[in-house]
Structure 1
């Protein structure tokens, strides 16, 4: 996408980052910044800060940071082009021709959105207001779905006649080619007919709430297929979308928890029960893309799939996908093979709410119970194999607290000591799978310059000077500084050089928008949030001198060690050589530690 930099600058000046982020995160003023709970990780103490002065945000807990563009891209899961379009519409600024040309809202896709919106209204009218929809209306009411829920979810009915909807939409100006391309019509032996016939219609919307597809449920439970979805096309990819995500996101973000269900009717029943955070996959197993959609808004996902064998297998797969995405899965314990819809109809909304708070398993607990259900208990070998599987699971996936808890349970069940079980478990112990980098390992970007120590601190100060000062960056380039204390610092310095050469004089926030690497963005945003000292060429030269001193100190340690080893080995020649090198390094360090005025002489 080719968007003029001048247009991006205009948006930066017009958009108030505090105002935008406040729509997603409750913020309170703290000094010159605003603080709140980070929307990108679970925390109880606010570490998320927004600077209106610099128009950037940074979380000192997880490291997330950037400008308003980055925030909307991450929180909404949209592209840069969509973000620019969204902000331009918010500010009432006309889009440049280059963005119009490449914007995702092409005329063809707009027609597809319009035809789905019109079809949804027509299906809903047939269900709620015509004799043709009476049977479907009674069916939904018999399943406990209220008229209010039908209206809120814009449920509809497709009459059994073969061309009713197609004829209506063609009269409204949509071509047969459009209807086929977006899945509303199908070619049956050379005859074009409605795809959906004699079924309850459930609109499927994208993240913005625009209807792009339909799910269709047969009125007869024995009909095949029971559910029929729109085919995939440009706006509809089942593995990248979640049913009801556009309604549920606010509640998911507020609770930092999502309820993951298996089907449309489950979502309708749960939403009617007053639980707003429910979403469902679209007839497929949970995908990585769907897990990432949830990760943008929450940290925990309650899996409430059907209690049958298929639901059990789907839960096991979902646990793996969610954990790989860095989310914490827990599993709702539904009794007697029920699904959420059936449970609510049988026991009521309040009982289901109690289950959500009182009757969940951790992923490890569920997997143990799943192993238990499939174990061969009749033979000693089967019981031993079950025990070994559980110990392997605990070694690889359980926290120390959960390990201790489960080992005590196993000790009582199998009449074995906890120490014996621990010893056996150690045989399975392997390096734990990293679901997300530990914070201490990513300290080079997570720490601010003020928090860093020694060589890293000097390296970060050099980077910060180049970010805030064109003169400092030019000084560093003239001196040929290309390597800093940490590889990540060196990589960011290279990007700063390129930016300073291409766009001299731009504000530091403009630099963040050109970075794509997540770690570099986090490092840069932490540097922008820390208050730098007054930057000058002399200060930069002091930083460089300090960095060289750190290098010489490290070299001195290595030479002293080599000198001691040579003396211990009786190698007189090597010892003499190392002694001379040590003295030379010491003299260099003594010279560098002299005041700047003496260096000038």
Structure 2
């Protein structure tokens, strides 16, 4: 069951889109709209617009668009229900209680129980660390330099040497084996039955951003294998969409996050005062991680280990973060292996200086490439600059590309490269085309990956944009067009809704968007209300309007002719008359006066 349309619309109307988006994006007024840098893709020149009259946003760069619900869902990675609750609370609207289906209620109850089991397990491990049996684990942590305050802050614990300890504890609290199995805390086999997954390990509870325990990591005491063990994915734990330490780091006053590799790195950095450190959970950085990071910052410092594996991890992470619209820089820890070792050896002040000196991630990729070729040889230099050209082609913003061309030339001028040489190399490579796998793929809404728009589709989109931007033209448009003249199915559906709104006396594109639940459809509908064409004079406006109207009628007539049943004589007469009317309209196009005032 979903909330009523009236409630959805009330919440939307009480959350002015400019006010809401201004909390996330710095907006500047230009005419009747506001503009800023798009939060959904990386750009240097503002192409993200917010239009108060439409109560909609649209990015002319990546195609992201919609009403206030769509923005909150996309930015915060919320479901529609979560976005509705968030905006209702913001506006002081009390949502009615919803009666969930039996299946939905059962799923919610199971999730709550799994969270409860994980919380009790964390408390149990925490208690075990302080018992005599946990002394070895406690000594390990303090031996690594952790204070009691940090051990408590991160809820660190210990799992005893007995492999059924936790199982017995939770069974005594009347949890079923099925639920315990789904918690990810236990293994099952025919010989032993159910037994603890974590035993004889230091335990690191993993929390979501709301401080709920969703999983665990364990570091073995002694020489057991594997050295580190993480919870499997469960109904409440998705390692590709959670970051260790983010529940604390998200409240930091710093305007960036530090992304490192392990639990101990995060904790030691927090202890040293760097409370904006987080780590991925035993997996490479994913697009899910990048989307999560985007909710809290525009910039990430990559702090992977300085060995070969750490460098590869940084190189993988850079394009993923870039695609999510997050800037990144890379910190050089050499000669130390990781941040924990660096801080212990050189101290927090020296570490802070390394953070400040972090290298631009694009130039980091270039520097790594320089190490892959024999730069003392002309052939090696040539191949290196080819690689640089490939990297530069990944940058869609021309200004940004030019700035990096100059930066590369400045850094490697000793090899005889000039700005003109490198720019020619980039242009030459662009003409040849580069292998698809070597390019960062643009988002699905990027114009580069959308199919080429036909003149008919463009005309229909322009007409829909004009209708919602200048509702006063409806009186003229209705004389010649009906929703059935829009031959693209989605455009026709939108036109029907606009015509109905017109009858009700309120053309409201933001309310109309509430009817679409599919994200791709929402994006496409948003684009329908933001089609652009450069028109300066009244004559140009009237010409564009008449061209669009005639094109729509032509496409509509062609579609009807294509689908005409030869046995239907009445339909034939209608087609003949429609064709005659269209010819007359073409001859009298100068009478199609329209005003966009």
* TM-score under structure 1 length normalisation: 0.72
The alignment status of 1:462 with 2:460, answered yes or no, reads no
CA gap of 1:225–1:587, structure 2 versus 1, over 3 A, is closer
Q: Distance in 2 between matches of 1:13 and 1:417?
A: 56
Relative to 1, partners in 2 of residues 1:106 and 1:32: Cα closer, same or farther, differing over 3 Å?
A: same
Quick check: 1:158 aligned with 2:165? no
CA deviations 1:443-483 (Å, max 9, x no partner) are: x9xxxxxxxx99987662224356x9998997776475426
Write the distance in 1 (CA, Å) between the matches of 2:464 and 2:21. 31
CA contact (8 A) 1:124 1:154 kept: yes
CA distance in 2, matches of 1:11, 1:145: 47
* Secondary structure in structure 1 of the residue aligned to 2:206: strand
Q: Which residue of 2 aligns with 1:267?
A: 266
Question: Aligned partners of 1:591, 1:301: CA distance in 2, in Å?
Answer: 61
Q: Is the 8 A contact 1:271 1:278 kept in 2?
A: yes
Map residues 121-520 of structure 1 onto 2, 5 A cutoff: 121-127=123-129, 129-188=130-189, 189-220=191-222, 222-251=223-252, 255=255, 257-336=256-335, 338-363=337-362, 365-376=363-374, 383-398=377-392, 399-412=401-414, 414=415, 428-429=429-430, 433=439, 436=442, 460-464=465-469, 478=482, 480-482=484-486, 491-492=490-491, 494-498=493-497, 505=504, 507-515=508-516, 516-517=519-520, 519-520=523-524
Residue equivalent to 2:590: 593
Unaligned stretches of 5+ residues in structure 2: 393-400, 451-457, 532-539, 552-581
Instruction: Assess if the C-alpha contact under 8 Å between 1:56 and 1:67 holds in 2.
Output: yes
How many angstroms does 1:215 deviate by? 0.9
Query: Any idea what the Cα deviations from partners look like across 1:306-364, whole Å, max 9, x if unmatched?
Result: 1111112222222233344444332211202511222122222222222122132432x
**1:593 aligns to what SS in structure 2?**
helix
2:575 corresponding residue in structure 1: none
The alpha-carbon deviation at position 229 of structure 1 amounts to 0.4
* Alpha-carbon distance in structure 1 between the residues aligned to 2:416 and 2:27: 54
Q: How many residues align?
A: 528
Deviations 1:62-115 (A, max 9, x none): 775544422331222122234345556775434322478547962111111111
CA contact (8 A) 2:35 2:46 kept: no
- Can you give the 5+ residue segments of structure 1 that lack an aligned partner in the other structure? 445-452, 528-541, 554-584
SS in structure 2 of the partner of residue 106 of structure 1? helix
Q: Is the 1:326–1:435 Cα contact (8 Å) retained in structure 2? A: no
Q: 1:219 to 1:462 in 2, by over 3 A?
A: same
Using the size of structure 2 for normalisation, the TM-score is: 0.72
1:67-78 → structure 2 map (5 Å cutoff): 67-78=67-78
- Cα 1:439/1:183, change in 2 over 3 Å: closer
SS of the aligned residue for 1:107 comes to helix
SS of residue matched to 1:118: helix
Residue 509 of structure 1 and its aligned partner are, at CA, apart by 2.8
Q: 1:531 maps to what in 2?
A: none
Q: Distance in 2 between matches of 1:83 and 1:283?
A: 30
The CA distance in 1 between the partners of 2:480 and 2:156, in whole Å, is: 64
| Cα distance change on mapping 1:353 and 1:473 into 2, 3 Å | farther
Task: Confirm or deny that 1:5 pairs with 2:5.
Answer: yes
Question: 2:240·2:285 contact (CA, 8 Å) conserved in 1?
Answer: yes
Q: Within 5 Å, which residues of 2 pair with 1:75-94?
A: 75-84=75-84, 91-94=93-96
SS at match of 1:405: helix
Secondary structure in structure 2 of the residue aligned to 1:201: strand
CA distance in 1, matches of 2:358, 2:35: 35
From the superposition, tell whether residues 349 and 195 of structure 1 become closer, same or farther in structure 2 (CA, over 3 Å). Answer: same
Distance 1:476 1:32, change over 3 A: same
Equivalent residues of 1:85, 1:95 under 8 A apart = no
- Over the aligned positions, Cα root-mean-square deviation in angstroms equals 4.8
